[in-house]
Structure 1
Amino acid sequence: MPFARNSCGVLAPIARIKVALNGGRHRGAHPALPCTPAELAGAARAAVAAGAEAVHLHPRAASGAESLDAGDVGAAVAAVREACPATPIGVTTGLWITGRDVEARRRAVGGWGGLSPYHMPDFASVNVSEPGFTGVLEALGEFGVAVEAGVWSVADAGALSMAAGLPRLLIEIMTPDEDPLAILARLDSAGVPGARLLHGEGPLCWPMVALAGRLGLPTRIGLEDTLTGPDGEPVADNASLVRLALSVWSAAASA
C-alpha cells in the first residue's frame, strides 16, 4: 500500500477508537506489552485489524526506557508504518521522559527534524499542564507534526484559550476529582477549536469509553490505559481491548 505522510500538521479524524499501545509501563506489566519496534509493529497491526483508527505509542531506547531520542522515535514509527501504512501514528512528548528537564525535551523533540517523512510521526501528544508546552508546540510546528493537546483539568482547558490551531484535544481523566463534562464545557465556553477525544486511565478507563460513546466523541484504549476489560478480568492484548472498547462505545452510543 502506498504511503503518503500528512505533512501539513492536520490530523485525520478519528470516529471511534485510537489505540495506545504501551505508555510508560515496564515490560513485566503485561505479557503482551509491546516495547521494541518489532513488537510495536505487531501490536499495531493487530489493533488496527480489530478496528483502531490511529496508533499512539511510547518509543523505547535499547535499555527499555522511554525515549524521545530521534533515533528511537524514528525506529518505532517506521516499524509501525511498515505494518500499518495507512494508519496515522502518534508518539508521546511526556516531560517525565527527560526527568522533567524542559530544555532537554525541547532539544530532543527538535532533533526529530532530521527524520525522513517515513520515520516522522504524524502527530504527537503534548500535555498542557507540563512546563514548556508552547516550546514543544513550536518545535513540532517546524516540521509539520500535528499536535494533540492533553487536557487533564478545567484549569488546562482554560489555559488552552490562549492557544490556537490545535487540531485535537485529548480530555484525559486520571482521577475521579476531574469532571469530563466540566472540562468539555470550559473548552466550549472559551471557544477553543479542535476535535475532542475523551478517555480515562485505570478504573476510569471504561466509564470514559462509555461516556464518549454517549456523547458521540472518539475515545482511546490500550495497554497504556488499562490491563483489564470492563468486567475487571485481564485481557490478552491491545487488539482485545480495541474490540471490547468498540462494543462498549457502540452500546452506549445506541442506548
Structure 2
Amino acid sequence: MKACLNGGRRVEEHPAVPVTAEQLASAAVDAVAAGGEALHLHPRDRLGVETLDAGDVGAAVTAVRRGCPGVSVGVSTGLWISEGDVRRRLAAVARWVDLPVAARPDFASVNVGEAGFADLVQTLHQVGVGVEAGVWSTADAQELAAFGAAGWTRILVEIIDSPAETAAATADVILARLDELGVAGPRLLHGEEAACWQLVAHAGRLGLPTRIGLEDTTIGPDGQPATDNAHLIRQALNLWTAAATSR
C-alpha cells in the first residue's frame, strides 16, 4: 500500500493536505504507522506550489526519510509542474544529481503519455533515481512496450477521469494489454476521485498493490470526509484485504 500524501491538492480542499517539508514528514509518519509501505509526494516551494527544484525536493525527501527510515520515498515529475516546459523539467531533474544521496528520491513517477518521457527516464537513471512508469491507456501500454525494458520500479496503471462503474473494466483492458505486449515490471493499480475506491477493491481482488491518500481522494469508501492520510490508509487496507480474501 503506497500513501500518496498530497499531489497538487490545496489546503482549501482539505485541511490535512501536507504542504511544507515538516508537514509531509508528519503525514508520512502517520501514514506508515497506519500501514503505508511506500510514500509518494509532491514537494512544494515556499509559496506552496508544486516544484521540481532540487532544493525543495531534497528538503522534502530528507524530512520524510528522517521520520520514516527505511521506507521508500518517491516524487512526481508531472509535466504540469514545469508548466508544460519539457526542457525546463529535464534540466530541473538533472540537477538532482547534486543532492546528497540521502536527499534524493528512491523513485519518481513519469507519465508515459507526456512529451519528453524517454529523455526523462534516461536522466532519472543517470542521477540514480528509479522510475515508475505511469500508464493511463492502452496507447500508453503500447508506447511503453516500444520503449523497451528499463528496469521499472513499478508500472502504475492509473485510471484517470473514469466513471466509477467502468473503472475496473478499463483497468482490466490496460493490464491485459501490458501482459500481451510482454511489458515487465511490478504493477500497481489505482484511480482517483469517484473511481478511487472501486479500484482499491479491484486491486485486492487481483492481488495487486494499490495506493491511497489525499492526492487521490478526500472521501472515504462510505462517502464520508476522510480525517487525514492515515485514515484513508486504514480504510483502504480494510477494503483491499476484504476484496483479496473474497477471491
**Length-normalised TM-score, structure 1:** 0.92
Q: 2:133 aligns with which of 146, 149, 152?
A: 149
Q: What is the rounded CA distance, in whole Å, between the counterparts of 1:76 and 1:27 in structure 2?
A: 17
Residue equivalent to 2:12: 28
**Aligned-residue offset at 1:115:** 0.3
Unaligned runs of 5+ in 2: none
Q: 1:97 aligns with which of 81, 87, 101?
A: 81
Q: What is the rounded CA distance, in whole Å, between the counterparts of 2:154 and 2:27 in structure 1?
A: 24
The residue matched to 1:28 in structure 2 has which SS? coil
Q: What is the rounded CA distance, in whole Å, between the counterparts of 2:7 and 2:61 in structure 1?
A: 15
Identity value in percent: 58
Greater fraction helix: 2
User: Which runs of structure 1 show a deviation greater than 6 angstroms over 4 or more consecutive aligned residues?
Assistant: none
Q: Does 1:55 align with 2:46?
A: no
Q: Does 1:88 align with 2:72?
A: yes
CA deviations over 1:178-206 (Å, ceiling 9, x no partner): 61000001100000000000000000000
CA contact (8 A) 1:123 1:146 kept: yes
CA deviations over 1:187-243 (Å, ceiling 9, x no partner): 000000000000000000000000000000000000000001001100100000000
Q: CA RMSD in A?
A: 0.9
Q: What is the rounded CA distance, in whole Å, between the counterparts of 1:112 and 1:162 in structure 2?
A: 27
Residue equivalent to 1:169: 155
**Length-normalised TM-score, structure 2:** 0.95
The residue matched to 2:15 in structure 1 has which SS? coil
Greater displacement, 151-160 / 177-186: 177-186
Greater displacement, 171-180 / 67-76: 171-180
Residue equivalent to 1:249: 240
CA deviations over 1:149-206 (Å, ceiling 9, x no partner): 0000111011110231223100000122761000001100000000000000000000
Residue equivalent to 1:127: 111
Q: What is the rounded CA distance, in whole Å, between the counterparts of 2:156 and 2:12 in structure 1?
A: 27
CA deviations over 1:59-82 (Å, ceiling 9, x no partner): 000011000000000000000000
Say how many residue pairs are matched: 239
Unaligned runs of 5+ in 1: 1-16
